[in-house]
Amino acid sequence: MSAPFSTLCLDLSNWDLFPDASGNIALAAPPYAVAQDVASAIKTFLADCYYNQALGIPYFAQILGHTPPLSIFQGYLQDAALTVPSVISAQCVIESINARTVQGYVQFTDSANVTQSVAL
């Protein structure tokens, strides 16, 4: 797979761009960039990406307001994580489901053999 790249860094409080110390749009470098890209991939709704509408998870059609088997939901999250360049493996762990709230994380390993996780 291709080498990890830098990505636009997103503010954790509002998931939006912010300036760096020089006033330019902040960039994130690997390994943080890979984790941020995995987090973005698992948050993307199907057909939300303007240039590739095949990307994303079918949250409206099959997840939200439905009760899919847990393995289906985990599979979607793992598959989304694997769309990120340099991610070679991913595993979704669901810790709890309570009052329509799912808690857990996606743990992944990249081509540099760095293992990280992102919360759901």
Note the pLDDT tens digit of each residue in 75-112: 999 999 999 999 999 999 999 999 889 999 999 999 99
pLDDT band of 6, cuts 50, 70, 90:
confident
Structure tokens at 9: 């860094």
pLDDT in the model for residue 82: 98
Look at residue 1 and tell me whether its pLDDT is greater than 50. no
Strand segments, DSSP code E, in the chain are: 7-8, 27-28, 87-98, 101-110, 115-119
Look at residue 9 and tell me whether its pLDDT is greater than 60. yes
Distance separating alpha carbons of residues 60 and 48, to the nearest angstrom: 12
User: Which amino acid appears at position 11 of this protein?
Assistant: D
List CB contacts of 51: < 8 A, sequence separation 6 or more.
none
pLDDT band of 50, cuts 50, 70, 90:
very high
Residues paired with 93 in a beta bridge? 105
β-pairing verdict for 87-98 and 115-119: unpaired
Q: Which domains does the chain have, with CATH numbers?
A: 7-119 (3.10.450.40)
